Homo-oligomer: A and B are copies of this chain.
Amino acid sequence: MKLDQQRFSTQTNGRNTYNITQDIEQIIAESGIQTGLCHLFIHHTSASLIITENADPDVRRDLETIFSRLAPDGDPEYLHILEGIDDMSGHVRSILTQTEITIPVSNARSALGTWQGVFLWEHRTGQFQRHITVTVTGE
């Protein structure tokens, strides 16, 4: 078994989902690994990694609708409010989703299902440089 670890960055521009599936495919291809696992880790607490439906963008809009109820911006009970009304809600959304994801590698590609895409979900309304470490292990 061998291991390849790389880091890449994505510039976000407000609360939204950003498709990073191709970034991951490229890193898997560069690793030369045929069969194994690809681990993704985002180094932040108010942006997430999610795997969800990749065909209809309404799915991600509906996720936004539900998450704005589960983790409201500017909730009157929040104590952590220094950085604005999207700060604490961003931390809650991070906890309700994923900071890290592992995907199988098969035939030198990610073994995602037909309808699965990998997205960075930015929870803050401003612009951020988000860093992701990708570790590919296998044969």
Contacts and interface: CB of A to CB of B under 8 A. Distances in A.
Interface residues of A, number: 58
A16 B79 CA distance: 16
A5 B41 contact: no
A108 interface: no
Contact of A115 (B45, B70, B77, B113): B45
Contacts of A41: 102-104, 111
A9 interface: no
A50 B95 contact: yes
Contact of A59 (B39, B51, B88): B88
B36 A45 contact: no
Q: Which 6 A-B pairs have the closest CB atoms?
A: A43-B113, A58-B79, A58-B80, A104-B133, A45-B53, A1-B1
